[in-house]
Amino acid sequence: MTGFGRGSAATHEWSANVEISAVNRKQAEVVIQAPRELHELDAQIRKQVLGSVSRGRIQVSITFEATATNGGEFRIDPALALAFSAVFSQLEKTVGYPTLPTAADFIRQPGIISTGVREIDRDAAWLTIEPALNDALAQLVIMRESEGAHLKADFLARLACLSEFAQKIAHEAPARVIRQRELMMKRLRDAGLELDLTDERVAKEVALFADRCDVSEEITRLESHFLKFRDYLDAAEPPGRALDFLCQELFREFNTIGSKANDASIAQTIVEAKTELEKIREQVQNVE
C-alpha cells in the first residue's frame, strides 16, 4: 500500500525533518537515508517504523541540523591539512617546477575544513528525531488506511461475485447427474442396447458418476472461506498474509470443482470465478 508522511521537531540543540513514503511490496523493507553521524540510530528507527507498518517498501529520509546556538563554527583537521600540503611538495619534485596548493584546494578537499558540531549525542538526536518520526508515521498510516478502505469495498464487491458463482455452481451441479444418465442411455440406445432405467447396472454407474462429480464439500468450504475473508477484513490486526493464504485456498477449491464437475457450463463459471479471484489476489499482495 502507498502513502506519505512528513514530520518536524526541534530542541534547543537540534532540528529534524522526517519524510516517509511507502510503495507496494509483498514483504516489509525499510530504507533509511540519514546523515552518517546518525547511522547508529538505524535499528531504532527501523523498529519504530515496523511497529506501524508490516508490508511495503518504506523510504525514510531524515535531515538533521544544529540550531543557531549549536553550530556555525569551523573546524580544521591539522593532520589532514599537513598531509595534503606534503603531497604538493612531492608533486613539485616530480614535475620539476613549483606547485603550491591554493586556499580553494584546501576547501575542496573533504575533511580538512568542516562546519558545525561534529559530535552528535545519540540520546539528544533521538529526542529530536522521535517526535518527527512519529508525526510522519501517523500521516502515513492515515493515508494507507484511506487506501485500505477503498480496497476493502472492492474486495467485498468481488467476494459477492464469487459467492454468486458458487451458488450458481451449487444449483447446476445436481442436474449434471441427470444429464449424464440421459447421455448414457442415449449411447446405449444408439448402440442397440436397450436397458431398463431400473436396471441395477445403470443405477450403479449413475451412482458412481454422482459420487465422482459431487462438489458439495467444495461448495461448503468455499462458503466458509468467504465468511473468513470478511472476518479478516474487519479484524483489527493486519490481514494481508491471511488474505493471501485464503486466496490460495479459494483458487484450490474452484480448481477442484472444475476438474470434478466435467460440465461446460460449470467450467465457464469456474473461468469467470478464477478471473475475479485473480483480481483480488493481485490487490491482496499489497494489503497491510
Q: Do 233 and 212 fall into the same domain? A: yes
Please state at what angle helix 240-261 crosses helix 216-233, rounded to 10 degrees. 160
Residue with cell 515496523: 50
The predicted pLDDT at position 25 comes to 81
Question: Are residues 256 and 194 located together in one domain of the fold?
Answer: yes
- Cα(173)–Cα(178) distance, rounded to whole angstroms? 10
User: Please, what's the b/e burial string for 165-186 (b: 16 or more CB within 10 A of its CB; e: otherwise)?
Assistant: bbeebbeebeebbeebbeeebe
57 and 96 in a single domain? The answer is no
Residues 230 and 275 in one domain: yes
Half-sphere exposure of 196 (CA within 13 A, CB side): 3
Please tell me whether residues 202 and 107 are part of one structural domain.
no
Name the grid cell of 59. 523510504
Residues 98 and 149 in one domain: no
- Report the DSSP pairing between strands 56-66 and 28-33: parallel
Looking at the structure of the chain, the number of domains it has is 3
**Residue 1, helix vs strand vs coil:** coil
pLDDT at 131: 94
One domain for residues 164 and 274? yes
The Cα 187–Cα 182 span in angstroms is 9
Give the pLDDT of residue 92.
Answer: 83
Q: Do both 41 and 110 map to the same domain?
A: no
Please name every residue paired with 59 in a beta bridge, in sequence order, or none if there are none: 21, 31
CATH number for the domain spanning 41: value is 3.30.230.10
- Which pLDDT score is estimated for 160? 93
Contact assessment for residue 85 and residue 53, using Cβ atoms and an 8 Å cutoff: no
Domain that holds residue 106: 74-115
- Whether residues 136 and 175 share a domain: the answer is no
Question: Which pLDDT belongs to residue 275?
Answer: 92
Could you tell me if 158 and 235 lie in one domain? yes
Same domain, residue pair 230 and 270: yes
Are 179 and 155 contained in the same domain? Answer: yes
Q: Show pLDDT as tens, one digit a residue, over the chain (288 residues).
A: 788 999 999 988 888 999 999 988 878 899 999 888 888 899 999 999 999 888 889 999 999 888 765 555 667 888 888 888 888 888 888 888 888 888 888 888 877 876 655 567 888 889 999 999 999 999 999 998 888 888 889 999 999 999 999 988 888 777 665 566 656 666 656 666 565 556 666 566 555 655 566 778 888 999 999 999 999 888 878 788 889 899 999 999 998 888 877 777 888 899 999 999 999 988 887 777
pLDDT at 266: 84
Give exposure, 243-252, as e/b (b: 16+ Cβ within 10 Å).
Answer: beebbeebbe
- What integer pLDDT is reported at residue 36 of this predicted model? 84
Written as one letter, the residue type at 221 is: R
Is 243 in contact with 232 (CB distance < 8 Å)? Answer: yes
Contact 178, 207 (CB under 8 A): no
